Structure 1
Amino acid sequence: MSKPRYAVYYAPAADSALWRFGSAVLGYDALTGEDIPFLVPPGCDPATWPALTEEPRRYGFHATLKAPFELAGGRSEEQLRAFARNYAAGLEGVTLAGLSVAALGSFIALIPSEPGEELQHFAFALVQAFEPFRAPLAEADRERRLRSPLTPAQHAYLEAYGYPYVGDAFRFHMTLTGSLPDERVAPVRQALETASAAALPAGPVRLDRFALFRQDDRKSRFRLLDSYVFG
């Protein structure tokens, strides 16, 4: 049986329009662990939308900060949660100019409207802070990551942190679909842009918390375990 995995994600407040929107697009509320009615973007087929969002639904609506990991030997969930609480208490928030719907290769996500070095530094510091809790990457997971084309820097990050997209390779994104056929990318992106404009307030987004998610085993969905407000 596989061991539980944990991840440190940005997940907005459960009563926020952003959380409601992202969770409804995926049809899953990671806080309750329950399926919820889909928000199918205008012009998209309700019959096929569940399949288009199947992969991100496993993880819940989030932006990855520290990618999923098993606990290192001698570390417990209680220790991880206590560390997360104390670490969050010493943080200040990061303000994004806004969020925009964009195509990242074959999938659609919400990304910052403008890049910012503050966010990059914040994310990498968090990755490093939680590193003592991460067990070495299993060989099967390492081989899976190596199937993607990686730059030398990304390969070095994989070896050092168990995930290639950290440091200067980090890109904040909140995934809304799985991989789409080429011909579907542009129309689905446009549909989600329309849906987000109707559901989300315009303007800055404050990253004022992070969340600890848990996956009981590799066949389970991730659940939101704790949310930690900064300061």
Structure 2
Amino acid sequence: MAHRYAVYLAPATESPLWRFGSAIIGYDAATGAEPPAPDIAGFDPENWHALTAEPRRYGFHGTLKAPFRLADDKTEADLDALLHAFAAEHHPFELPPLVVRAIGTFVALVPPGPVPTLDDLARCAVVEVDPARAPLTPEELARRRPDQLSARQRAHLDRYGYPYVCEDFRFHMTLTGPLEDAAHTHALNALTEAYAASGASVPLRVSDVGLYVQDRPGARFRLARRIPLGTGA
């Protein structure tokens, strides 16, 4: 099976936000290290490790373009060229401090309000990098549960390989996997407290995008390189 790639927003690896997110999910996608989780009130380390298994597979990130395989006629050099061309046309910008929120059954960090610049960056990543993407296999399509999507989301899935793009994009940085009702409120409150104590609740400078790579099925995604914004803007 070929590598998979993803275009993610990745905070600077020396930032409190990167350290917080990586510690919460138990994996640093830049170094491969497994930092110990901070004290999460009401959860023992083993239980917390299980609850963060899903985000740990992907590394701490905010999705711009979801994981994809390269098209048969494209190489990683082709992907790099598209990424650099896309990133060059966007100025660096700043996000306000993120906040802890529940999104469905999981908990994530999200902007406190709309950020049109971020939405535009994500939309352009989806559209402009798409020529490098291989079509979804029937199995990949089925995993997206197309029967449960809206008509617009299904159209996005068919066109771009992922349903939650463009008008349906909602930026978030995942901190947990799906949670049962009993754990959901506890995790939300505990993460809110841990985040407030971490020093990570500060404005986030976005000056590049990250290319994450999964080397083989089941492997964790790693932050392979950063592509700077604004070199042609």
Map 1:181-200 → 2, pairs under 5 A: 181-200=180-199
Q: Distance in 2 between matches of 1:226 and 1:84?
A: 11
Q: Deviations over 1:136-157 (max 9, x none)?
A: 0111010110267211110000
Q: Is the 8 A contact 2:84 2:227 kept in 1?
A: yes
Name 1:46's counterpart in structure 2.
45
Q: How many residues align?
A: 230
CA contact (8 A) 2:99 2:201 kept: no
1:2-41 equivalences under 5 Å are 2-41=1-40
Deviation at 1:216, TM superposition (A): 1.1
Give the drift of 1:43.
3.0
Secondary structure of 2:131's aligned partner = helix
Q: Deviations over 1:114-164 (max 9, x none)?
A: 112332222111110100010001110101102672111100000000000
Correspondence 1:225 to 2:224: yes
Cα deviation per residue 1:51-80 (whole Å; 9 max; x = unaligned)?
A: 000011000000111000000122111222
Q: 1:123: which partner in 2?
A: 122
117-126 or 156-165, which deviates more: 117-126
Give the equivalent residue in structure 1 for 2:207.
208
1: CA distance between counterparts of 2:173 and 2:58? 11
1:91 Cα deviation from its structure 2 partner: 1.6
Q: Where does structure 1 differ by over 4 angstroms across 4 or more consecutive aligned residues?
A: none
CA distance in 2, matches of 1:33, 1:201: 21
Partner secondary structure for residue 140 of structure 2: helix
CA distances 1:84-123 after superposition (whole Å, capped 9, x unpaired): 2343233212332220000101100000011123322221
The farther-off stretch of 41-50 and 149-158 is 41-50
Unaligned runs of 5+ in 1: none
What amino acid maps onto 2:66 in structure 1?
A: A
Q: Structure 1 residues 200, 82: closer, same or farther in 2, change over 3 A?
A: farther
1:76-225 pair list within 5 angstroms: 76-146=75-145, 149-225=148-224
Q: Which moved more, 1:17-26 or 1:37-46?
A: 37-46
- What is the distance in 2 between the residues matched to 1:60 and 1:10? 11
Task: Structure 2 unaligned segments of length 5 or more: list them.
Answer: none
Say if 1:5 and 1:68, in contact at 8 Å, map to a contact too: yes
How far did residue 191 of structure 1 move? 0.4
Taking structure 2 as the reference length, what is the TM-score of the superposition? 0.93
Q: Which amino acid aligns with 1:165?
A: Y
Structure 1 Cα separation of the partners of residues 116 and 57 of structure 2: 30
Offset at 1:203? 4.1
173-182 or 205-214, which deviates more:
205-214
Q: Decide whether the 8 Å contact of 2:6 with 2:65 is kept in 1.
A: yes
- The TM-score with structure 1 as length reference comes to 0.94
Cα distance in 1, alignment partners of residues 78 and 32 from structure 2: 23
Aligned to 1:72: 71
